[in-house]
């Protein structure tokens, strides 16, 4: 392949994934060779969203006719894939070599290799057709980003919930203190009737409401892409037929209207980052939740959130062309298969661990975690592998975010697994990317974070519309 030279073997191999080809190393190799060619040309990607906001990413590429210009296409396609799910766009302006724009337009088309992304970035998320437009670098629209404060409202009687694919959590929160919490195992992806999701969520909300004298507001976090509390794309609802998806798209708004309280629901990664920012009392926080999938969220250095998607589950981190397939998107090497219980399950057979099929995903993960705590060497290698993935991927994320802190949490970080992840990632950064290790603090939630918690952070999302 014309880009094989980019696919570098890392200095530290994941014990259970010897063919891992970190995106961070591949991109650095590409840019280094472009630079030494002496013929670098600008490549500017402008990502425009339906509200008129625009993100820009400026990089370099080989010029048309260069002996290695074919590598441009692979580099640009993986770069655009990352940017689409990190920042979002329904129109992509490609300022650079015409061959790159043509390649991206063919890939991100209804019949292209990235048809999944074409559909979701267009009609599903931004509710307008997706397009790729070629232009000169100087004609890419100027950057226009919007940021806003998120949450941190703790007064009154609030309900906070977090919906995962294996379990859902809810808390009753009074003036910033959780007075009641519960966790319920469920399997929403297996249900095709929207009524199931509505009834289950309402059951949790009503349970929390029964523990307080009143309910002033409801805040929630959930896996997926949410815009104005509407579910645009959500793996939790993947079992629902397309012609009935509207019933869950506005489900949370309907719940707020029925209960006559303000409600706000955002991506669970955003709440992860918010909880971290609240406990650290700082910004520049990337939250990574390793649960049923990978959730990402970002709080800017000045403490705000952006209009970006931060859907890291679909962002490439491994450029191995034979890497694990993500079944929903049809792509390989994306975060969901490296930072979630999906990763634990796919590595378990390599680690000599058999997982019964007739138990829930939550029970499957618990089984492997129990083996880890019991000293099973194969189970340890699963988390050591994930630690290697994490170190190289944080270096990759650093190319796209202004980072001070990375907070990792979620069910996969429970027990000794969290420490293995943390130590593995730190070791990679210190040995391979020391400049990043010096500026980015990676940590698990501390005791203060646990007191604030995901549910309290979620509960703090809505602004009260009446005095309490």
pLDDT at site 452: 45
pLDDT at site 117: 97
> How many structural domains compose the chain?
3
Per the prediction, the chain carries an average pLDDT of 93
Nearest to 3 by CA among 60, 58, 78: 78
Tell whether 140 and 224 lie within a shared domain.
no
Tell whether 36 and 52 lie within a shared domain.
yes
Three-state secondary structure of 61-83: ECCCCCCCCHHHHHHHHHHHHHH
Tens of pLDDT along 113-128? 999 999 999 998 999 9
pLDDT at site 1: 67
Q: Which residue did the predictor score with more confidence, 404 or 304? A: 404
User: Is 410 strand, coil or helix?
Assistant: coil
Residues 191-205 have a mean pLDDT of 95
Tens of pLDDT along 382-423? 999 999 999 999 999 999 999 999 999 888 998 999 999 999
Residues 197-201 have a mean pLDDT of 95
Q: Which of 264, 295, 323 is the last residue of a domain?
A: 264
- Tell whether 169 is covered by a domain: yes
Tell whether 327 and 345 lie within a shared domain.
yes
Listed in sequence order, the residues at least 6 apart from 315 whose beta carbon sits closer than 8 Å to its beta carbon are 81, 82, 85, 86, 296, 334, 335
Tell whether 113 and 199 lie within a shared domain.
no
Share of the chain above pLDDT 70, in %: 97
Residues 287-309 have a mean pLDDT of 90
Q: Which of 230, 246, 264 is the last residue of a domain?
A: 264
Tell whether 275 and 164 lie within a shared domain.
no
Nearest to 41 by CA among 27, 20, 58, 26: 58
Tell whether 345 and 437 lie within a shared domain.
yes
- Tell whether 421 is covered by a domain: yes
Cβ-contact 17, 324 below 8 angstroms:
no
Per-residue pLDDT at 15 exceeds 50: yes
**Length of the chain (residues):** 468
- Tell whether 44 is covered by a domain: yes
Contacts for 32-39: CB closer than 8 Å, 24+ residues apart:
33/5, 33/68, 33/71, 34/60, 34/61, 34/62, 35/60, 37/62, 37/66, 37/68, 39/63, 39/66
Tell whether 207 and 235 lie within a shared domain.
yes
Per-residue pLDDT at 91 exceeds 70: yes
pLDDT at site 260: 95
- Tell whether 5 is covered by a domain: no
Q: Which residues partner with 287 through β-bridges?
A: 297, 407
As a whole number of angstroms, the distance between CA 207 and CA 201 comes to: 10
Per-residue pLDDT at 449 exceeds 60: no
305 confidence band (pLDDT: 50, 70, 90): confident
pLDDT at site 451: 42
- Tell whether 6 is covered by a domain: no
Listed in sequence order, the residues at least 6 apart from 255 whose beta carbon sits closer than 8 Å to its beta carbon are 198, 201, 202, 205, 218, 263
Residues 374-385 have a mean pLDDT of 98
Tell whether 132 and 157 lie within a shared domain.
no
- Tell whether 460 is covered by a domain: no
CATH of the domain at 341: 3.30.420.40
**Domain containing residue 132:** 11-145
Tell whether 132 and 199 lie within a shared domain.
no
Listed in sequence order, the residues at least 6 apart from 47 whose beta carbon sits closer than 8 Å to its beta carbon are 54, 55, 56, 57, 83, 84, 87, 88, 89, 91, 92, 93
Per-residue pLDDT at 253 exceeds 50: yes
Per-residue pLDDT at 102 exceeds 50: yes
Residues 30-59 have a mean pLDDT of 96
Tell whether 187 and 222 lie within a shared domain.
yes
Q: Which of 106, 128, 145 is the last residue of a domain?
A: 145
307 confidence band (pLDDT: 50, 70, 90): confident
Residues 138-165 have a mean pLDDT of 92
Per-residue pLDDT at 202 exceeds 80: yes
Tens of pLDDT along 346-357? 999 999 999 999
Compute how many other C-beta atoms are within 10 angstroms of the C-beta atom of residue 357: 6
- Tell whether 18 is covered by a domain: yes
pLDDT at site 411: 86
- Tell whether 466 is covered by a domain: no
Tens of pLDDT along 206-250? 999 999 999 999 999 887 888 889 988 887 888 999 899 989 999
Tens of pLDDT along 167-185? 888 999 999 889 999 989 8
As a whole number of angstroms, the distance between CA 123 and CA 131 comes to: 11
Residues 139-163 have a mean pLDDT of 92
pLDDT at site 223: 79
Tell whether 358 and 218 lie within a shared domain.
no
Tell whether 277 and 403 lie within a shared domain.
yes
Q: Which residue did the predictor score with more confidence, 291 or 27? A: 27
Per-residue pLDDT at 326 exceeds 60: yes
């Amino acid at each position: 392949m014309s880009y094989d030279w980019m696919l570098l073997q890392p200095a530290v191999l994941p014990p259970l994934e010897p063919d891992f080809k970190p995106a961070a190393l591949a991109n650095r190799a590409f840019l280094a060779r472009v630079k030494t060619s002496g013929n670098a040309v600008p490549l500017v990607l402008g990502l425009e969203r339906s509200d008129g906001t625009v993100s820009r990413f400026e990089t370099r590429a080989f010029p048309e006719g260069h002996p290695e210009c074919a590598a441009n296409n692979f580099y640009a396609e993986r770069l655009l894939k990352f940017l689409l799910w990190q920042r979002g766009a329904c129109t992509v302006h490609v300022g650079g070599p015409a061959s790159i724009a043509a390649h991206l337009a063919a890939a991100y088309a209804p019949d292209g290799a990235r048809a999944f992304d074409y559909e979701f970035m267009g009609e599903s998320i931004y509710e307008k057709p997706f397009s790729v437009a070629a232009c000169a670098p100087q004609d890419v629209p100027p950057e226009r980003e919007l940021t806003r404060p998120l949450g941190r409202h703790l007064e009154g009687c609030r309900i906070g919930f977090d919906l995962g694919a294996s379990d859902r959590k809810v808390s009753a929160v009074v003036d910033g203190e959780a007075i009641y919490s519960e966790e319920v195992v469920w399997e929403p992806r297996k249900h095709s009737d929207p009524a199931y999701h509505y009834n289950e969520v309402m059951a949790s909300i009503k349970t929390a409401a029964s523990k307080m004298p009143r309910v002033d507001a409801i805040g929630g976090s959930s896996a997926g892409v949410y815009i104005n509390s509407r579910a645009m794309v959500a793996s939790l609802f993947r079992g629902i037929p397309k012609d009935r998806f509207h019933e869950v798209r506005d489900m949370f708004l309907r719940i707020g209207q029925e209960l006559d309280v303000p409600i706000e629901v955002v991506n669970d990664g955003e709440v992860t980052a918010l909880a971290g920012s609240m406990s650290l009392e700082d910004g520049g926080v990337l939250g990574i939740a390793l649960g049923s999938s990978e959730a990402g969220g970002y709080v800017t250095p000045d403490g705000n959130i952006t209009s970006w998607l931060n859907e890291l589950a679909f962002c490439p981190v491994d450029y191995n062309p034979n890497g694990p397939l993500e079944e929903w998107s049809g792509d390989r090497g994306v975060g969901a298969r490296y930072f979630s219980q999906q990763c634990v399950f796919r590595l378990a057979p390599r680690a000599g661990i058999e997982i019964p099929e007739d138990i829930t995903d939550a029970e499957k993960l618990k089984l492997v975690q129990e083996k880890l705590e019991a000293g099973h060497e194969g189970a340890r290698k699963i988390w050591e592998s994930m630690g290697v993935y994490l170190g190289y991927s944080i270096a990759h994320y650093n190319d796209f975010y202004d980072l001070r802190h990375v907070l990792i949490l979620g069910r996969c970080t429970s027990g000794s697994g969290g420490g293995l992840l943390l130590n593995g990632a730190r070791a990679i950064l210190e040995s391979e990317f020391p400049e990043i290790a010096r500026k980015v603090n990676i940590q698990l939630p501390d005791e203060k974070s646990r007191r604030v918690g995901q549910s309290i952070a979620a509960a703090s999302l809505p602004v009260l519309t009446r005095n309490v």
